[in-house]
Structure 1
Amino acid sequence: MADNLKTVGVSVTSRALAILGAFDAVHSGLSLSELSRRTGLPLATAHRLIRELQSWGALSRGLDGRYRIGLRIWELGALTPSRTGLREAALPSLLSLLEASREEVRLVVADGGDAVCVEHLGARDDRRGTDLRGLRRPLHESACGLALLAHRGAGGTAVQRCLPLYRKYGCVVRPGEPRAGRKTVAMPVVGDDLTAVAAVGLTLPDEAALGHGRELLIAATAGIQRALSRRRAVAA
């Protein structure tokens, strides 16, 4: 009986996680039928698990009948080390970068093969921007992810293409990000052991702003590295 319960428990957990994993930046609101289709779960099973997740606060249902990630998940996500120690250490430098550039700023960490945005600050005069926090993309698909990969010396065609500029300027430049007509320049944040713990991205309007943007990024990443070193020294 105990073994059966354990097996059932694992199965239920996996199915519930599959429902949560069905949401992403493109599919932030899903109907019951869409959740059933994306997870491969029968409608009745999906509905039962969704109701349980909703009652716990992991999911919420809007007036349009679609389900979205609930506040309880965001509260838990805010407790991760990348959103606590790293974010707190980085925030003063990120705010200074925002003030000096008046452009979009983001802090990204690597999670397996993905780049995850843990902080995003929008420009004051840019009403078109959206909150990128929580956005997950493959490392090779974003400037910050490429900066992390290039620092590691990882291979891949996308990384090889960005290496010449990275070696010349110490940063990655990616056109068309976050939208057409813009560029994102990114630089890694290096820890005391010379490993990249994060990357900072800055949106630029054009190529002419690259030199100034690079200088601002150097100052920001250096400030974050000093803050992280102080935190480690205090902890030690």
Structure 2
Amino acid sequence: MTNPPSVSRGRRPAQGAPVIDRAFALLTAFNETRRAMTLAELSRVTDTPPSTTLRLARRLLHLGALERDADGRFVVGLRLWEVASLAPRAHGLRTVALPFMEDLYEATHQHVLFAVLDGMEALLVERLSAREAIDVLYRVGGRLPLHSTGVGLVLLAHAAPDFQEAYLAQPLVHEPEGVPLSSAALRRALAEVRRNGIAVVNRQEPRPLLAAAAPVRGADGDVVAALSVVVPAGHTESRFISPALRATARALSRGLGAPVSAALPPGRFPDRP
């Protein structure tokens, strides 16, 4: 599994940092709540002198990595999307996963999520959603906390032991509820995920929902992604979601070349011919 990065994502580059670090800091300053920024805002958020910010922003505009909106503010450019769409760990998995996700979507008509581990977070690679489905907080390309989401718990439960220890060592708070989570409670939750082969999360804010997630394995048998269904609380019970979710995750794993034994849920055996 992916090891924790040596430098925290989004960390401001030190004074005198290489130009590429400063340019990357400008690009990663954009997020769900900061989709467009003025030059002054970019400078302040990245702690970069205005003159340097202007020079870098102009170059990024020229390369297509940044664009300007109707108000003249800076926004992420399509060139970045074009390049990012070629990332093999996301694009390759997504290509194989989509047909299986569509089957699961037809069975639930809610949200179907597909995520991978990236750094200390889960990265949402794809999401299929019905128009009438409950609102969720995460978008494609967005990041999800490992300790309080279904896909995150699955990915963390099957991560390398040293990764888990590094994650458990940090202060943990359930978001958006703002409720602290002890490392002991998280250890128990991860053990439960490994034992059951599925993670179930019940959330009350901003709207009550239930999320169930299952591991997806690659050709070497290791967990490479997580597949999840999110439904309104009370819409259905996890015991009704789990069989379809398990079967889809197993079929997707086999589609990725996982050995039959690795693709099976705990306690299950290959179907007899």
Which one of the candidate residues 98, 110, 123 is aligned to 2:117? 110
Change in Cα spacing, 1:12 to 1:49, as seen in structure 2 (3 Å) is: same
Which one of the candidate residues 11, 15, 39 is aligned to 2:18? 11
Give a deviation string over 1:149-192, Cα, whole Å, max 9, x none.
11236353263242364255421122338842112211111224
Give a deviation string over 1:183-227, Cα, whole Å, max 9, x none.
221111122433110001210222642112111211221121111
| 1:166 is the counterpart of 2:228 | no
Give a deviation string over 1:14-72, Cα, whole Å, max 9, x none.
11111011112232222221211111111121122112111211112112333221111
| 1:135 is the counterpart of 2:142 | yes
Q: More deviation in 88-97 or 154-163?
A: 154-163
Change in Cα spacing, 1:62 to 1:213, as seen in structure 2 (3 Å) is: same
Supply the AA of the counterpart residue of 1:220: T
Q: Normalization by structure 2: what TM-score?
A: 0.73
Name the SS for the 2:37 alignment partner: coil
| 1:97 is the counterpart of 2:125 | no
Q: Percent identity?
A: 37
Give me the whole-angstrom Cα distance separating, in 2, the residues matched to 1:67 and 1:99.
Answer: 39
Which one of the candidate residues 49, 52, 75 is aligned to 1:45? 52
Change in Cα spacing, 1:174 to 1:46, as seen in structure 2 (3 Å) is: same
Give me the whole-angstrom Cα distance separating, in 2, the residues matched to 1:68 and 1:185.
Answer: 34
Query: Where in structure 2 are there 5+ consecutive unaligned residues?
Result: 1-16, 169-182, 259-273
Name the SS for the 1:125 alignment partner: coil
Q: Which residue of 1 aligns with 2:228?
A: 201
Supply the AA of the counterpart residue of 2:113: R
Q: Which residue of 2 aligns with 1:226?
A: 254
Give me the whole-angstrom Cα distance separating, in 1, the residues matched to 2:201 and 2:137.
Answer: 19
4+ runs of 1 displaced by more than 6 Å?
A: none
1:25·1:136 contact (CA, 8 Å) conserved in 2?
no
Give me the whole-angstrom Cα distance separating, in 2, the residues matched to 1:182 and 1:131.
Answer: 14
2:96·2:256 contact (CA, 8 Å) conserved in 1?
yes
Q: Normalization by structure 1: what TM-score?
A: 0.84
Name the SS for the 1:162 alignment partner: helix
Q: Which residue of 2 aligns with 1:25?
A: 32
1:178·1:184 contact (CA, 8 Å) conserved in 2?
no
Q: More deviation in 148-157 or 51-60?
A: 148-157
Q: Which residue of 1 aligns with 2:175?
A: none
Higher helix share: 1
Supply the AA of the counterpart residue of 1:190: R
Supply the AA of the counterpart residue of 2:214: M
1:117·1:134 contact (CA, 8 Å) conserved in 2?
yes
2:110·2:134 contact (CA, 8 Å) conserved in 1?
no
1:204·1:213 contact (CA, 8 Å) conserved in 2?
no
Q: Which residue of 2 aligns with 1:66?
A: 73
